[in-house]
């Protein structure tokens, strides 16, 4: 079936199953819990669910370390539960995109158990093994989760590569038999009727063959090897092969998670003529507040930088590829705390940030709780944190002599557990997420931030997001229109236009807690503007050529 590109009009909702809804009181979200909340998603109006991994896993990285790709994780339920969930989603017209994690497996996957048995084992070459150098690791690459990217194995006196945790050995995509095994597994799930894949760090799967040391001018213990595995030499060959062998046979959505991807590369990955993927998750807009040395070195947010990045992505993929649009996911702190105001103006700034993103060209992704304006969390002590990335960083920074308060502040601002506290359903115990003890503590603000309250309040973020989602289906200008940034150097006002045939949208957002002046563009014919959506009451007749934007105001003018 030809791909009708339905995903250009879709809005995707990401579920992190461990934290979404617990149905059996063990404090861990599960598939029956998801089923019980599908009417809520239907009410919101989302078209697709991206479900983070539910495959068998020891949960070293909460399911991103898979020990059996074709079995369901015990804590989440059974394959029958999964089949029921898919049927219930499809009954409601909701599509299901599963998470494909094939840069690495768990070290408890039977392929790895075999691979480490001996150098002659038939699975040896499914993974990346190298001899050490003078008793040291084969190269100087660091793991994303601290320490070396290599783990020594006594049994065969060699090291194996793991770009993430020690329990996440990287797969060797040079091995054709391995690639065929992956395509078989993908077909297993697609033949069950799923509607696509989100592909975990899929631009890491092709490494530069001789795995060279990275430059290390500052003499660090380990350094990022990203230049030798991001967008590597055979990545387009592999993705085109995957498309030919599997993806092209189904009418599906495919999105590649690609840390380090540029717009130029993304136009290659997402150009439909190249038969690779439909869209990618880029990370440039997620690093505006990251200093040199990575995310934990927090620097002030800079709107001018953000505007330049998102404008580049809008314009360089226009008529060439396709963008994903996201602020949040299970790896990122919550945007209303990161860029908005999670205090007095929480609801208003959350609506502004939603408007800013959803009026752009691309497929928007809403992360669970974003539609409620859920915020970051500040746990008293490190013992309340769960994420391996955070716990490893804490240990490493303590050893490096960092001040504990500085470490905790970096965790408060950038830690992934900010996104992983339980979904807040109501103001009952544990926010209605579980009647047991939650695997991670609930954000204490669940009394005022929860789904029940949001659904009853017509002015909630929830109902505002509902409207953004429906506008995308009604207005071709949102999916087809060209993008033009205004006031590129204004540090507080984010304004852009979308143009399509004789129609215009003018999106004006005040990304600050102070009122800001905005001069309407001359070409805007004041006799015809209408307000398509806004987060603040405004009498259209009073509008002259000068707008005083209220704190965190978002307004979308429509004119011809
Ligand atoms: O994330 C890839 C990735 O690069 C993230 O680790 C990100 O850079 C980091 O978390 C920023 O804080 C994917 C998954 O989304 C993530 O949950 C997994 O931990 C990782 O791959 C390994 O599977
Ligand atoms: Ca459970």
Strand partners, 486: 495
Q: Among 92, 37, 458, which Cα is nearest to 466's?
A: 458
Beta-carbon contacts of 485 under 8 Å, excluding residues fewer than 6 positions away, are 307, 311, 495, 496
Give the separation between CA 184 and CA 264, rounded to whole angstroms: 31
Half-sphere exposure of 134 (CA within 13 A, CB side): 2
Contact 525, 560 (CB under 8 A): yes
Cα-flanking dihedrals φ and ψ of residue 92, to 5°?
Answer: -95, 10
Q: What residue owns the CA closest to ligand 1's atom 14?
A: 200
Half-sphere exposure of 68 (CA within 13 A, CB side): 7
* Ligand 1 atom with the shortest distance to the CA of 61: 19
* Structure confidence by residue, pLDDT tens digits, 246-288: 999 999 999 999 999 999 999 999 999 999 999 999 999 999 9
Tell which one of 66, 105, 164 to mutate to probe ligand 1, the residue whose CB is within 8 A of the most ligand atoms: 164
Q: Among 154, 69, 145, 158, which Cα is nearest to 106's?
A: 69
Statement: the pTM of the whole predicted model exceeds 0.90:
yes
Q: Name the pLDDT band for 453 (thresholds 50, 70, 90).
A: very high
Q: Cα–Cα–Cα angle for 8, 11, 16, nearest 5°?
A: 130
Q: What residue owns the CA closest to ligand 1's atom 11?
A: 331
Which helix or strand (DSSP H or E) is residue 516 part of? strand 516-519
Q: Name the pLDDT band for 325 (thresholds 50, 70, 90).
A: very high
Mean pLDDT to the nearest integer, 513-530: 81
Verify whether ligand 1 is closer than 6 Å to residue 331 (CB atom). yes
Percent of the chain with pLDDT strictly greater than 70: 99
pLDDT value for 1: 44
Mean pLDDT computed over every residue of the chain:
96
Give the separation between CA 253 and CA 194, rounded to whole angstroms: 10
pLDDT value for 293: 82
| Residue 352 predicted with pLDDT over 70 | yes
* Ligand 1 atom with the shortest distance to the CA of 163: 22
Higher pLDDT, 257 or 545: 257
* Structure confidence by residue, pLDDT tens digits, 129-182: 999 999 999 999 999 999 999 999 999 999 999 999 999 999 999 999 999 999
Mean pLDDT to the nearest integer, 32-56: 99
Mean pLDDT to the nearest integer, 514-531: 81
Angle between helices 235-245 and 176-190 (to 10 degrees): 40
ipTM: 0.97
Verify whether ligand 1 is closer than 6 Å to residue 200 (CB atom). yes
Contact 162, 109 (CB under 8 A): no
Contact 352, 475 (CB under 8 A): no
* Structure confidence by residue, pLDDT tens digits, 393-402: 999 999 999 9
| Residue 360 predicted with pLDDT over 50 | yes
Q: Among 182, 145, 181, 180, which Cα is nearest to 162's?
A: 145
Give the separation between CA 343 and CA 328, rounded to whole angstroms: 18
Q: Among 331, 244, 358, which Cα is nearest to 9's?
A: 358
Please tell me what DSSP assigns to residue 459.
T
Cα-flanking dihedrals φ and ψ of residue 361, to 5°?
Answer: -85, 130
Which helix or strand (DSSP H or E) is residue 558 part of? strand 554-559
Q: Name the pLDDT band for 543 (thresholds 50, 70, 90).
A: confident
| Residue 3 predicted with pLDDT over 70 | no
| Residue 334 predicted with pLDDT over 90 | yes
Cα of 25 vs centre of ligand 2, distance in Å, is 6
pLDDT value for 540: 77
pLDDT value for 416: 98
| Residue 526 predicted with pLDDT over 70 | no
Cα of 28 vs centre of ligand 2, distance in Å, is 4
Question: In this structure, is the dihedral angle defined by the CA atoms of residues 392, 398, 401 and 406, taken in order, positive or negative?
Answer: positive
The token duo for 415 is: 């830690």
Instruction: Describe the strand order of the beta sheet including 150-153 as a list of residue ranges.
Output: 129-130, 158-161, 150-153
Contact 442, 430 (CB under 8 A): yes
The closest ligand to the CA of 333 turns out to be 1
* Ligand 1 atom with the shortest distance to the CA of 330: 17
Instruction: List, by residue number, the catalytic residues.
Output: 200, 257
3-state SS, residue 121? coil
pLDDT value for 527: 56
Mean pLDDT to the nearest integer, 332-360: 98
Q: Which of 201-205, 283-287, 372-376, 521-525 has the lowest mean pLDDT?
A: 521-525
């Amino acid at each position: 079936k030809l791909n009708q590109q339905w995903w250009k009009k879709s809005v995707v909702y990401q579920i992190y199953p461990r934290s979404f809804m617990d149905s059996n009181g063990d404090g861990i979200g599960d598939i029956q819990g998801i089923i019980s909340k599908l009417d809520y998603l239907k009410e919101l109006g989302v078209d697709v669910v991206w479900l983070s991994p539910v495959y068998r896993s020891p949960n070293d990285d909460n399911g991103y370390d898979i020990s059996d790709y074709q079995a369901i994780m015990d804590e989440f339920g059974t394959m029958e539960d999964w089949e029921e969930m898919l049927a219930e989603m499809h009954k409601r017209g909701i599509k299901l995109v599963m998470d494909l994690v094939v840069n690495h497996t768990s070290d408890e996957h039977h392929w790895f158990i075999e691979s480490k048995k001996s150098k002659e084992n038939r699975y040896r070459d499914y993974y990346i093994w190298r001899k050490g150098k003078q008793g040291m690791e084969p190269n100087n690459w660091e793991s994303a989760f601290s320490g070396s990217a290599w783990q020594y194995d006594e049994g065969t006196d060699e090291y194996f590569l793991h770009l993430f945790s020690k329990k996440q050995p990287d797969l060797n995509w040079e091995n054709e038999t391995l690639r065929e095994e992956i395509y078989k597994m993908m077909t297993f799930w697609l033949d069950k009727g799923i509607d696509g894949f989100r592909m975990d760090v899929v631009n890491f799967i092709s490494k530069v063959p001789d795995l060279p040391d990275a430059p290390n001018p500052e003499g660090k213990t380990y350094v990022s090897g990203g230049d030798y595995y991001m967008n590597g030499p055979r990545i387009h060959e592999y993705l085109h092969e995957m498309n030919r062998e599997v993806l092209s046979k189904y009418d599906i959505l495919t999105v590649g998670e690609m840390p380090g991807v540029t717009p130029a590369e993304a136009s290659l990955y997402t150009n439909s003529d190249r038969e690779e993927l439909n869209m990618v998750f880029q990370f440039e807009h997620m690093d505006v507040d990251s200093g040199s040395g990575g995310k934990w070195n927090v620097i002030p947010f800079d709107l001018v930088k953000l505007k330049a990045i998102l404008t580049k992505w809008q314009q360089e993929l226009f008529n060439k590829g396709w963008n994903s649009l996201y602020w949040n996911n299970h790896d990122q702190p919550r945007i209303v705390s990161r860029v908005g105001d999670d205090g007095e103006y929480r609801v208003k700034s959350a609506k502004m940030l939603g408007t800013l993103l959803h009026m752009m060209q691309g497929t928007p992704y809403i992360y669970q709780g974003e539609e409620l304006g859920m915020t970051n969390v500040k746990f008293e002590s490190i013992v309340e944190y769960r994420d391996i990335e955070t716990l490893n960083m804490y240990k490493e920074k303590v050893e490096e002599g960092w001040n504990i308060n500085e470490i905790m502040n970096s965790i408060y601002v950038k830690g992934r557990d900010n996104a992983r506290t339980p979904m807040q359903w109501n103001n009952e115990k544990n926010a209605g997420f579980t009647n047991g003890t939650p695997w991670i503590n609930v954000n204490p603000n669940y009394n005022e931030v929860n789904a029940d309250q949001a659904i009853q309040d017509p002015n909630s973020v929830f109902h505002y997001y509902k409207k953004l989602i429906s506008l995308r289906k009604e207005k071709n200008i949102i999916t087809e229109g060209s993008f033009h940034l205004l006031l590129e150097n204004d540090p507080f006002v984010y304004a852009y236009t979308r143009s399509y045939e004789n129609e215009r949208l003018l999106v004006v957002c005040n990304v600050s807690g102070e009122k800001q002046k905005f001069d309407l563009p001359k070409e805007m014919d004041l006799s015809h503007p209408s307000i398509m959506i806004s987060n603040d009451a405004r009498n259209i007749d009073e509008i002259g050529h000068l707008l005083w934007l209220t704190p965190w105001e978002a307004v979308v003018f429509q004119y011809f």
